[in-house]
Structure 1
Amino acid sequence: MNATIDDEDGYEDEERGPSKSQLKREKLALQALAERMAGMPRAELERLNLSAATWAALDETPRIKDIRARGRHWKRIANLLEREDMAAVHALVDQAEDRERKAAAHLHALERWRERLIADDEGALSEFIDACPEVDRQQLRTLIRAAQRDQERGRPDAPRKLFRFLRDSLESSTEM
């Protein structure tokens, strides 16, 4: 190694390069990215111009069951990904994560509406009707009463029906 010795910590900064820890963090990040990509739908991944070796490794993923073999497999895919266009890969994964966050936020909002309506929260019904003016009010009230009864009895059927009704109503109101 042709590094010059410095008084403070042994080597000059220009000649160091990334530390072993930094290199390991980058490898682990690539392995996590490989796991994430393996869980994505093939149609989404086809937008990337991946090499044949990377496709072969991704296609092989479902058949690997052993946890140790799976760990080696993620390392193999990570090594293959280093040769790919990482900007496109990161953009695709970021888009997928953004869609998942939005979908989760939407489901949480629906769950809050359902909880408020079942709890007979002051103004929840009128707020929902304001948010979805074309909603069938009679059917909504019937579903709320049934959900309240079923919740007291510990049954999940009517609250599920209410949730589906709220989801469909909000989706139809946002399409307009």
Structure 2
Amino acid sequence: MQRVSMENQYDDDLNDQDDDYEEEARGPSKSQLKREKLALQSLAERMASMPRSALERLNLSEDTWVALDETPRIKDHRALGRHWKRIANLLVREDMEAVQALMDGAEAREREANARHHALERWRERMIAEGDSAVNAFVEECPTVDRQQLRTLVRNAQRDAERGKPDAPRKLFRFLRETIEEAED
């Protein structure tokens, strides 16, 4: 009796190993492969929207360059979908680590620019709402600013905001942006 149970245990172990081997041999699921293809297509769209000078560091193949250069000429939505698939298939053959590093750097710069833009919008809205107290707080943050010009722009922006006109608030925003950029340099 004892011998039969040992043989059954051995057979069970072999079956478990066979199941593991079959799963490894099958590879990733269809869903996983589809997610990877869609991610590559999204990457292709982002790359096509980037300036060529940024992409030149990647040492892409000639076929990939040709496909990226064709993108602006394609107007039909369905054709564009096929085009992204074509670029995605070409990207599989490229150095994906370099591509991903470039895209991560571009995304980081974009997040930083968005954060800076939102901070400037908050300053502008605060200055329009609070007036001189917000101007004084900004002057403390950025002492090189022309205080008189800033106050004039704030008063004009407050007046135009009440009237529903966008001109003076836009001028105030541009002035704040230029002031911050000069202070960072």
| 1:97 aligns to 2:107 (yes or no) | yes
| 1:63 aligns to 2:82 (yes or no) | no
Distance 2:20 2:54 in 1: 48
Q: Which residue of 1 aligns with 2:116?
A: 106
Q: Which residue of 2 aligns with 1:19?
A: 29
TM-score by length of 2: 0.87
Q: Which residue of 2 aligns with 1:144?
A: 154
User: Is the contact between residue 131 and residue 154 of structure 2 (CA under 8 Å) also seen in structure 1?
Assistant: no
Bigger fraction of residues in helix? 2
Backbone CA RMSD of aligned residues = 2.0
Distance 2:161 2:145 in 1: 23
**Cα-to-partner distance string for 1:6-53 (whole Å, 9 max, x where unaligned):** 6xx998433331000000000000000000000000000001110000
Distance 2:80 2:175 in 1: 42
Count of aligned pairs: 171
Question: Which residue, 155, 158, 167 being the options, matches 2:165?
Answer: 155
Gaps of 5+ in 2: 1-13
Gaps of 5+ in 1: none
**Cα-to-partner distance string for 1:138-172 (whole Å, 9 max, x where unaligned):** 11111111100000011111111111111111111
User: Is the contact between residue 5 and residue 12 of structure 1 (CA under 8 Å) also seen in structure 2?
Assistant: no
TM-score by length of 1: 0.91
Distance 1:83 1:15 in 2: 23
Distance 2:15 2:38 in 1: 31
| 1:38 aligns to 2:35 (yes or no) | no
Question: Which residue, 25, 50, 63 being the options, matches 1:53?
Answer: 63
DSSP-derived class of the 2:130 partner: coil
